[in-house]
Structure 1
Amino acid sequence: MSQQVRGVVAPGRNEPVRVETIVVPDPGPGEAVVQVQACGVCHTDLHYKQGGINDDFPFLLGHEAAGIVESVGSGVTDVAPGDFVILNWRAVCGNCRACRRGRPWYCFDTHNARQRMTLTDGTELTPALGIGAFAEKTLVAAGQCTKVDPAVAPSVAGLLGCGVMAGIGAAVNTGAVTRGDTVAVIGCGGVGDAAIVGARLAGAATIIGVDIDDRKLETARSMGATHTVNSRSTDPVEAVRELTGGFGADVVIEAVGRPETYRQAFYARDLAGTVVLVGVPTPEMTLELPLLDVFGRGGSLKSSWYGDCLPSRDFPMLIDLHQQGRIDLGAFVTETIGLDDIEQAFARMHEGDVLRSVVTL
């Protein structure tokens, strides 16, 4: 039988979110119902609310989550009721051309639950990133559930579901940061700080955090940045070059998703260096660069999808590193809140007052 639970819905573009009664159907073939224990408030949820992703309102928000599998549909073998899981929004298919070539982190046919959750009047909801976890329970594809050690706190584990994984993966997977590298990270919010953590984990010698907010720069230092630059008062390109012997950084990670900061990243890298775009732009944004500069500087211009992660590989590994004390995932949690507090959490996010608000249920 279907269940009725509380969930947070964005009813229309820029309208305040509402806590509504959500109908969660029984899991069908290949699906699972998960009892959500914690879900981070990610900037992508705000993008959904603002209509910056698409116009498929109403949205069931929330996607950076961990919880307990309650039930599964037929054909599900990788997870079972009672498993503690992190939800991921790139459930690989195993059959597309990327998967067949041994690159499942680029899967071109990731999948979600086939059934839709609804409001009590039957209105279908679009779950954010195919998850919809600002709810007491949610329906997902079983492949979106990644088992990890249940000893870790849900409020910490869930962060790997999006922002922290995106940032760490942008450095370790996409940027291929290695020992002795110089790295600059433009934008020191949750994703940018995670990129700093990833660069430090990979052995970077110099890690430069760039932002316009001194509070965020202070946090970046606590996360492992060796230097910081306030780009409101200092030219970030010149500052990065000065801090890297006049050359520019080996890897520059753009964690804002704006044309002007991408240009900064492009020119702040060394010759043959790498730029990684992990910040999420909005549909109307465009970029113009002199083609001769693109040719003449060489190197790589990359986009990082979800930190180019493979959840089944990366989530358990990062949880293990957290439990060993080698990374501190708990440092990303600024506050824990309830389902009724998400509109206020969006406001605090916009003001830069939090690294991560985490809904706990």
Structure 2
Amino acid sequence: MRKIIAQNKRVEVVKDETPAVKSHFLLVKTLYSTISPGTELTIIENSTDKPITLGYSAMGVVEEVGSGITGVQKGDLVAVYGAPYVQHSEYLLVPKTLFAKVPPNVEAKEAALAGIGAIAIHALRIADLQFGETAVIVGLGLLGQMIAQIANAASYRVIAYDLHEERSTMVKEQANIRSFSSMEEMKQAIAESTNGNGADAVLLCAGGKRSPLTGQSLEWIRNKGKVVIVGDIEPDFPRNLMFSKEAQLLISRAGGPGRYDKVYEAEAVDYPYGFVRWTEGRNIEEYIRLVSEKRIDVSSFIKEEVNFSDVTEAFEALLNKNSTTLTKVINFSK
């Protein structure tokens, strides 16, 4: 089989052995996988002579079902998430804790975004918002756009901001969310929406490591409000402002409980439903439900499809900033 790797700051397609199915795992033939520009471009730019397999969100058709798995059979479509099990690879060996079945009314390319959806859902769970509270989404790349739509579907009061006007306009048109490319206009909207009290939570989805947004975000929240770091930002916050508001600083890690836990992933042992309600696997299922019930619309995220045979050129365009799209979906049939 073929898969995509990063090595010496370049993207290559290499050959590897097709994995054999084993107990509590599915063997999946990939139909589509999603490029996550923020994460994957960083990996490429930092890559050395040691090859790193790219990708973590995909969908495909079940080829074989390992023992100990029920409710799915050969030929079913599934959404899958989580490296190293999910990659830009023709075949994937995925534990039973990291997939969700795809119903007929969900397009294959929409299902391939399941990993992004799970990360967005978990970020909102970390924010722990109540019905009617105000969430400010800062940074409207792929993940920020997804979070804004899901927050809106949950009936939070959503205010979104991105420096780039086209991204701000995109979320406004897609879900009728109040969105701004002017920070002054955004701050005014927060004041109006909260009667001057400040937002209940700010979710920072922008990158840039040392960002001025970290300190500024504390100005936008209410007393005892929250700032959730979702993007690649160093948590450098002024103590005085944190102290005066008794602010909560939180970090959202990937798609939910279970991520990076060898027992949950490598050994495919699920957490008890009554004790860990929302694992990363159940967040994948929830994303699929939101799309299936038309509560969110991700069609604008997947307008650019790339043939597997042309994938190196697609990554080069992203690396050279020649593309303004939020993501590219890789078609493994071409």
TM range (shorter): 0.7 to 0.9
Aligned residue in 2 for 1:48 = 43
Aligned residue in 1 for 2:327 = 356
Aligned residue in 2 for 1:57 = 50
Q: CA deviation at 1:212?
A: 1.3
Change (3 A) 1:131 1:50: farther
CA contact (8 A) 2:5 2:52 kept: yes
Q: CA deviation at 1:188?
A: 0.5
Residue 6 (1) aligns with residue 7 (2): no
C-alpha distance after superposition, 1:11-46 (max 9, x if no partner): 23x22x112222123123433321001111112222
SS in 2 for 1:259: coil
Residue 221 (1) aligns with residue 172 (2): yes
CA contact (8 A) 1:7 1:339 kept: no
Q: CA deviation at 1:183?
A: 1.8
The code of the aligned residue for 2:217 comes to: A
Equivalents in 1 of 2:188, 2:92: separation in Å? 46
CA contact (8 A) 2:255 2:283 kept: no
Aligned residue in 1 for 2:259 = none
Equivalents in 1 of 2:99, 2:117: separation in Å? 17
Q: 1:325 aligns with which of 288, 294, 312?
A: 294
Q: 1:204 aligns with which of 143, 152, 156?
A: 156
Change (3 A) 1:298 1:72: same
Q: CA deviation at 1:253?
A: 0.8
Aligned residue in 1 for 2:202 = 252
Equivalents in 1 of 2:41, 2:94: separation in Å? 21
Equivalents in 1 of 2:92, 2:100: separation in Å? 15
**How many aligned residue pairs are there?**
305
CA contact (8 A) 2:40 2:55 kept: yes
Which segments of 5 or more consecutive residues in structure 2 lack a partner in the other structure? 257-277
Equivalents in 1 of 2:86, 2:81: separation in Å? 11
SS in 2 for 1:39: strand
Equivalents in 2 of 1:65, 1:185: separation in Å? 25
C-alpha distance after superposition, 1:327-360 (max 9, x if no partner): 2132321211112333443434745611221112
TM-score, L = length of structure 2: 0.80
Equivalents in 1 of 2:122, 2:226: separation in Å? 14
Q: 1:164 aligns with which of 94, 99, 117?
A: 117
Deviates more, 1:141-150 or 1:331-340: 141-150
Which segments of 5 or more consecutive residues in structure 1 lack a partner in the other structure? 90-128
The code of the aligned residue for 2:12 comes to: R
Aligned residue in 2 for 1:88 = 81
Q: 1:304 aligns with which of 231, 242, 252?
A: 252
Aligned residue in 2 for 1:130 = 84
Q: Percent identity?
A: 26
Equivalents in 2 of 1:241, 1:329: separation in Å? 26
- State how 1:61-210 maps to structure 2 within 5 Å: 61-77=54-70, 79-89=72-82, 129-161=83-115, 163-171=116-124, 173-205=125-157, 207-210=158-161
CA contact (8 A) 1:31 1:140 kept: yes
CA contact (8 A) 1:237 1:267 kept: no
SS in 1 for 2:201: strand
Q: 1:342 aligns with which of 311, 315, 318?
A: 311
C-alpha distance after superposition, 1:286-310 (max 9, x if no partner): 4433323222212422212235352
Aligned residue in 2 for 1:30 = 24
Change (3 A) 1:295 1:287: same
